[in-house]
Structure 1
Amino acid sequence: MRNLKIRAYQTKDKCKVVEIFKSNVPKYFAESELEDLKCYLGNQIEVYFVAEMNDEIIGAGGINFEDEKKTGIISWDFIHPNHQGKGIGSKLLQHRLELLKSMQNIDTINVRTSQLTFMFYEKNGFVLNKIQKDYWAKGYDLYEMNFQIRNYPIVVGQRL
């Protein structure tokens, strides 16, 4: 993991990112999501990163914004199967969470994932809000989760 580097996505990374995505179909993503990813990479990126090890891209993940940039959305993250289970996905997620936490206007961080990966986000502090069956494709349910990053105000008289 010493050789892990997270850097900003560049247009020249698209083919490799798509290749890594395909290596996660159908285990984590429906094949029909490939066109959505290509559209995202071409038109919808706001902040996107790649994870590299020994100068080879092994994963990617992004951030988008909603609610006048008060909500950060964790988007399109995946790691090549040969590198899963080694903490790389967690490092990539933590990189984005730290970036979002540093933005004073961000109150909430959301992720829309599936039943296949929601436990990863749960382990990293996200809370499940909603499930919608067959949302992404048949057999790929939507799991909406959020991560509250601002503490609620302390109520007068509340004990700490």
Structure 2
Amino acid sequence: MESLIIREYQEEDKDNLLSILKLNIPHFFAEEELNDFKIYLEQKIEYYFVVEYKGKIVGSGGINLEHDSKIAKISWDFINPQYHGLGIGRKLLEYRIDIIRVMHKDYKIIVKTSQYVYQFYEKNSFVLESIIKDYWSQGFDLYLMEYKF
């Protein structure tokens, strides 16, 4: 896909990303998760990437590592809803999986998502491992999934 750039997150991206996340509330994220994302960007970020499409920031997603248990977590994925269905989310996911497989090839790759998005990951070789009801917030269940390649 031409005119698609995936690059490392920079602090000046924060406001744009918060605005995009708000566009995904309440369909894909709970209202409470907005503050969780702010905390993530300020304190928990490890590898985080921004997607630009035709010169505009349209989404982002990260990787967090648990070295002791050899787990790589796909974290905080979201795309501006206006750009859903164009393959941008898939490209961002593939980009991060490729990084993990090069840097940490013996790590298990997981994602913690919800019932509203898990089908996207199923289409991209993730398998559902477990469900915890109302984990993220009332009406937002945890779907724990593992990448199987």
TM-score, structure 1 length as denominator? 0.89
- Structure-2 residue corresponding to 1:59: 59
Counterpart for residue 30 of structure 1 = 30
Q: Which residue number in structure 1 is paired with residue 134 of structure 2? A: 134
Q: Distance in 1 between matches of 2:10 and 2:106?
A: 25
Q: Structure 1 residues 23 and 104 mapped into 2: Cα distance closer, same or farther (>3 Å)?
A: closer
Note if 1:122 corresponds to 2:125.
Answer: no
Q: Is contact 1:136-1:142 (8 Å) kept? A: yes
Shift of 1:67: 3.6
Partners of 1:111 and 1:16 in 2: how far apart? Answer: 24
Looking at structure 2, the residues matched to 49 and 33 of structure 1 have their Cα atoms a distance apart, in angstroms, of 19
What pairs with 1:9-158 in structure 2 (closer than 5 Å)?
A: 9-68=9-68, 70-148=70-148
Give the gaps of 5 or more residues in structure 2.
none
Which secondary structure does the structure 1 equivalent of 2:103 belong to?
Answer: coil
Aligned length: 149
Distance 1:123 1:148 in 2: 11
Distance 2:69 2:10 in 1: 23
Task: Give the SS at the match of 1:134.
Answer: strand
TM-superposed CA distance for 1:105, in Å, is 5.0
CA distance in 2: counterparts of 1:6 and 1:96, whole angstroms:
10
Structure 1 letter corresponding to 2:82 = N
User: Hey, what's the Cα distance between the residues in 1 that align with 2:63 and 2:34?
Assistant: 18
Structure 1 regions of 5+ residues with no counterpart?
A: 150-160
Give the Cα–Cα distance (whole angstroms) in 1 for the partners of residues 40 and 104 of structure 2.
26
Opposite residue 72 of structure 1, the aligned amino acid is: A
Q: In 1, Cα distance between the equivalents of 2:67 and 2:133?
A: 25
Contact 1:72–1:106, Cα closer than 8 Å, also in 2: no
Cα 1:66–1:84, aligned 2, differ >3 Å: closer, same or farther?
same
Structure 1 position 68, deviation (Å): 2.7
Offset of residue 45 of structure 1: 0.4
Structure with a larger share of its residues in helix: 2
Write the letter of the residue equivalent to 1:133: K
Per-residue CA deviation, residues 95-115 of structure 1 (Å, 9 max, x unaligned), is 000011112454210100000
- Give me the whole-angstrom Cα distance separating, in 2, the residues matched to 1:148 and 1:123: 11
Letter in 2 for 1:41: L
3-state DSSP of counterpart to 1:30: coil
Change (3 A) 1:104 1:135: closer
CA RMSD across the alignment: 1.2
Aligned to 1:158: none
TM superposition score normalised by structure 2: 0.96
